[in-house]
Structure 1
Amino acid sequence: MPRILQLTPFVLCSSLQKQIEFYCDRLGFSCGFTQDNYAFLSKGPAAIRLLECPPRDDGRPLGDDQSFYIDVEGLDDLYETLRPGLADLPEGRVRPPFDQPYQQREFHLIDEDGALVFFGEGISPRG
């Protein structure tokens, strides 16, 4: 019976090298393959495919309407591990961990081209 192995979103970028550095140096992904305007990055079972593209005609950032969610265990520990690499990002690019009303604890960040990256973990409802 066929089975799905992995979901790997394409993340558009204006500079492949800058995005590789962002995801690898700041978020701990590993770059498994690059060629021309393409790179494949992974961190455990999570993976993304970076695709360098020409700028938009309207001048908006390439990632302006992109987002993806990475489900994790140990969200607070992960955030603490990543925090030193996120500390020098401009204000507004990182939102520290917080609880959502839909029983998820999350932190958010914005990559080099404006894509919103969610990290989340399920939490038990408060009673």
Structure 2
Amino acid sequence: MPPYEAKTLSPILPVADMQRSIRFYTEVLGFAPGLQSDTYSIVTRGGASLHLTLAADDSVLERTRGHMSFYLEVAGIDSLWPHVSQFKDSYKTRDLFDRDYGMREFHILDPDDCLIFVGEEIQKE
């Protein structure tokens, strides 16, 4: 393997409604809008970026809906959760809980049923 540096890995998610998805990631998870077009947009927060692409047709969403997930590791999950929990009536969520592998997490489905695991390492005392 030749030497190289992997700088970032950014998922590209197909979405049904670009503006609805941008609103979700900015209002619920606090990402900032970056590049935006009718068919492709990027939202960022810290070192994380997420690329959104408008699905060409319903068949794309039929293949991906419920089969996409990613893990967003954060610092400050205990302060983020009260904000996100305000949206529980609009989005399916799993409340904040501790995992046996040392992470505190909550889960939320985005508007296109991508499952987002949001977690932070539990600090050992």
2: CA distance, partners of 1:23 / 1:123: 24
Q: Percent identity?
A: 31
Which residue is equivalent to 2:9? 7
Which residue is equivalent to 1:116? 115
Match of 1:65 among 64, 67, 75: 67
Which residue is equivalent to 1:88? 89
1: CA distance, partners of 2:44 / 2:63: 23
Which residue is equivalent to 1:102? 101
1: CA distance, partners of 2:15 / 2:63: 8
Give secondary structure in 2 for the equivalent of 1:56: helix
CA displacement at 1:56 relative to structure 2: 1.6
1: CA distance, partners of 2:28 / 2:63: 20
Give secondary structure in 1 for the equivalent of 2:62: coil
Aligned residues: 122
Unpaired runs of at least 5, structure 2: none
Q: TM-score, normalised by structure 2?
A: 0.85
Q: TM-score, normalised by structure 1?
A: 0.84
Which residue is equivalent to 1:21? 23
The alignment yields a C-alpha RMSD, in angstroms, of 2.2
